[in-house]
Structure formats: C-alpha cells, structure tokens
Amino acid sequence: MEIPVESEGMHYEGYCIRPPSEANSILLQVTVGCSHNKCTFCGSYKEKRFRIKDDQTILSDILFASKYMRGQDRVFLMDGDSLIIPQKRLMCILGRIKEHLPWVRRVGIYANAKGVRKKSLEELIQLKENGLGIVYLGVESGDDEVLKSVNKGTNAQNLIDMGRKVREAGIKLSLTVLLGIAGRERSLEHARATGELLSAMDPNYVGALTVMLIPGTPLYEDLRMGKFQLPAERELLLELREMIVHTHLTMGLFFSNHASNYLPIRARLPRGKEEALSLIDSALRGEIALKPEWMRAL
C-alpha cells in the first residue's frame, strides 16, 4: 500500500460518537454513519450515508496518531457499527494499528446484531487475537414488542445469541439499554424483559441510558402527536429498579451514570444489587435529590 502523506489532523466527518468509557481513547473513524440507521429514537447518523472509509485515509489517521497521540493506549473504532466491515479489511486495520501504534493495549468497536451475525465465531476469535478487546452492543430492550416498535431490526433471542457469541470469543461485551424507550404503557414489561435478556447474555458491562427525544426523529414525532408518552421521573426510577431486580450477572458492572439519567448508579452485580436497589428506594422516598433537567445534556 502506498503510504499517504501525513495529514494536519484526523479525518473526522460529522458528529463523532463514542462510549463514555472511551473518552481518553484514540478515536479512529473507519466507517461513516450506521448501516442500519432506522431506529426511531436515534438521530445520530441521519445526515450520514453509511460507507467504509478508504484504506489510505484510515492509514493516514493511524500515522497521525502514531506521532501525536502516544500517550493514549486505547483505540476506539467509529462510527455506528464498524464491526460490519468485511473481515479482511478489519484485520488489515487492526494490523496497521499494531504496526504503527504498538503501545495500544486495547481496541474497542461499536456493533449491532447484524454486524456480529456476519462474523463467525472463528473470525471473532481472530479479531480478539489481533487486538479487539471490547464490543459495544446497543440492545435497548429485551422486549420484542418494543424492539419492533422502535425498528431495531432484530429480536431479543437474536440479540442474546449474538451477545453470547462475542463472549464465547473471549471479547469483553458492553451493552446499552434505554430507560423510557417503551413509553409509559410498557415500562415495567420492558424493564423485566430487559433484565432477563441481560441475565441470559451475562455481559461484562451494562450501561443504562434514559432515552432523549430528538427533534426530527420518528419517536419525537410520535411524542408530538400524542402517540408516545415518556415516563415521568418516578416511573423511570421504578423502571430502573425493576430492571435491576431481574438482572442476574455473574460479575458484571451495571451503571446508570450517563448524563441523560436522573440518578447515577454504579453497581457490581451480584454483590452490589441490594445497595443499588436501596439507593433507588431512597430516591423514590425523596431522600436523594435527582439530577435537574438542565444538567441532563448529551
């Protein structure tokens, strides 16, 4: 491959989104947008048409990082579901990272169920052996009715199967679930089903976010037309409580410390479950102040 001329910076396009835990990572944008891009609640990639960036641009960014980002020992591959990159090209990207950023200890990546399904177990193991250390999978809900209503493009059993495959490959698994996504009517059903899904997957990490209704998205329009009702603060706390009650992990970290949440929680399950439930109960009794609306920014 021809070595590109060093650029003046990284070739980022549009808004770049990464997990909170990757705040100090080298952010390498290898895809633009999301291959699914149909979820009714998500406005993150609406202005982007999905594509995989060309090899020259990706290598140029890796070379830039090799010169100016030597203090960062993790890499995160953006955008929405970079795991969907064909195996040969993804292996090449990991190889370039290993070659030019030898101090990097871990590579992380966003994925969806479709992207995981396209990789065999053997291919996932191969990615693990070449530096891929964690997969971030947005499951949102374990309730099939909710998954269908938000146009997730998958069902709970498929999500469970894909999550288990990632874990079987020895790759750490971090899941995102959404409080409030079921609306007021199915709030507790969503919470219970999601807890059961998390228990079946047994991930390393679970991040519970509160859905933020973004103007221009179908879910926002449903709210405006009165077809969707977002649970109130107390209902969201009850939803979070019900979810944790039904979540049984062997040694997973459950947290709701995202900026969108009213009550930050960080609990290592199973031993921290009762403490987390006690904290929620205190908030329900009004003994703990919730985050004010002006602080709930993304």
Give whole-number Cα distances, 288 to 63, 141, 282, 298, in Å: 49, 27, 6, 23
Q: Is there a domain that residue 6 lies in? A: no
Q: Is there a domain that residue 261 lies in? A: yes
Q: Is there a domain that residue 1 lies in? A: no
Q: Is there a domain that residue 15 lies in? A: no
Q: Is there a domain that residue 175 lies in? A: yes
Task: Count other Cβ atoms within 10 Å, centred on residue 84.
Answer: 23
With CA atoms as reference, report the closest residue to 36 among 46, 26, 27: 46
Copy the structure tokens of residue 3. 């070595």
Copy the structure tokens of residue 129. 């052996």
- Using only C-alpha atoms, the chain has a radius of gyration, in whole angstroms, of 20
d(CA 32, CA 36): 12
Q: Is there a domain that residue 183 lies in? A: yes
With CA atoms as reference, report the closest residue to 208 among 255, 251, 141, 264: 255
What is the pLDDT at residue 250?
96
Q: What is the pLDDT of residues 103-162, one digit of tens each?
A: 999 999 999 999 999 999 999 999 999 999 999 999 999 999 999 999 999 999 999 999
Give the single-character DSSP code of 54. P
Q: How many domains does the chain have?
A: 1
Contact 84, 53 (CB under 8 A): no
Contact 78, 32 (CB under 8 A): no
Q: Is there a domain that residue 166 lies in? A: yes
Q: Is there a domain that residue 2 lies in? A: no
With CA atoms as reference, report the closest residue to 255 among 284, 276, 235: 276
What is the pLDDT at residue 193?
98
Question: Structure pTM?
Answer: 0.93
What is the pLDDT at residue 20?
87
With CA atoms as reference, report the closest residue to 112 among 49, 181, 166, 167: 166
The domain that contains 171 carries what CATH number? 3.20.20.70
Domain residue limits at 235: 20-285
Q: Report residues of the chain scoring pLDDT below 50.
A: 1-5
